[in-house]
Structure 1
Amino acid sequence: MKIHEYLELDAQAATISCSECGEVLCDADQNYKEHSSMRTGPVTDAGPLFQPPERVLGSDPGYEFREWFCPGCGVLFDHRFALEGDRIIHDIEIDVEALES
């Protein structure tokens, strides 16, 4: 079952995998991002229209640009801006008990 553009849920095995290459990332109750390859960089890595925070805000509050990739094939799963040191958001939570029903 597709749960994201590039993520599949195997309800019987209760796992999340990459829909491009089939790489199993984690159990369904885990945060797939914590089992993906993550790259962090400055805000300007998001593209040429993104200015350094200090230019816009007058100071650099410590923002970074995060990207999560499949460790098997490199397809991009997600990207976000975050403060350095912020936890990784668990944005897709699967009710594993409901899968067993």
Structure 2
Amino acid sequence: MTERVRVTETLDIDLDAGRWTCNRCGHDVGDAEQSYKEGLLVAERDPEEVHPRRAPEDSAYSFAPDPEWCRVLEFYCPGCAVLVEVEYLPPGHPITRDLVFDLTSLRAAAAR
């Protein structure tokens, strides 16, 4: 039987194969030694679309991040299109690697 560990609401690590998997559809997202985001679909969204205007049209403020200073990246499973992650980053900033695991230790803990 495949040993899987739940990591996030939508991602598991298959400890036997050392792979990220979507826990909704089972899609193989990529090598668990790398960032799971490398195996996901990425959509860049306009911050003003994500955060609709909440102020009058004549106001200088919209309550949305300035698109010249912020980009919104959404990461989706290629198998079932579930939203896995959202990042707010300055333009030009690399995608962050937010999860790093010692797979050897995870395997040892799962074996106990």
Q: TM-score range by the shorter chain?
A: 0.7 to 0.9
TM-score in terms of structure 1 length: 0.83
Preserved contact between residue 45 and residue 65 of structure 1 (Cα < 8 Å): no
1:17 is matched with 21
Q: Which has the higher strand share?
A: 1
CA RMSD across the alignment: 1.8
Whole-angstrom distance in 2 between the partners of 1:21 and 1:36? 13
Runs of 4+ in 1 over 3 A off after TM superposition: none
1:53 is matched with 66
Structure 1 residues 96 and 47 mapped into 2: Cα distance closer, same or farther (>3 Å)? same
Larger Rg belongs to? 2
Q: Is 2:78 aligned against 1:71? A: yes
1:35 is matched with 39
1:57 is matched with none
Whole-angstrom distance in 1 between the partners of 2:39 and 2:65? 29
Residue identity in the other structure for 1:8: D
1:90 is matched with 97
2:57 is matched with none
Residue identity in the other structure for 2:103: V
Preserved contact between residue 7 and residue 18 of structure 1 (Cα < 8 Å): yes
Structure 1 unmatched runs, 5+: 55-59
Residue identity in the other structure for 1:75: V
**Displacement of 1:45:** 3.0
Which of structures 1 and 2 has the larger relative contact order (alpha carbons within 8 angstroms, sep 6+)?
1
Residue identity in the other structure for 1:19: N
TM-score in terms of structure 2 length: 0.75
Aligned-pair identity in percent equals 29
Structure 1 residues 6 and 100 mapped into 2: Cα distance closer, same or farther (>3 Å)? closer
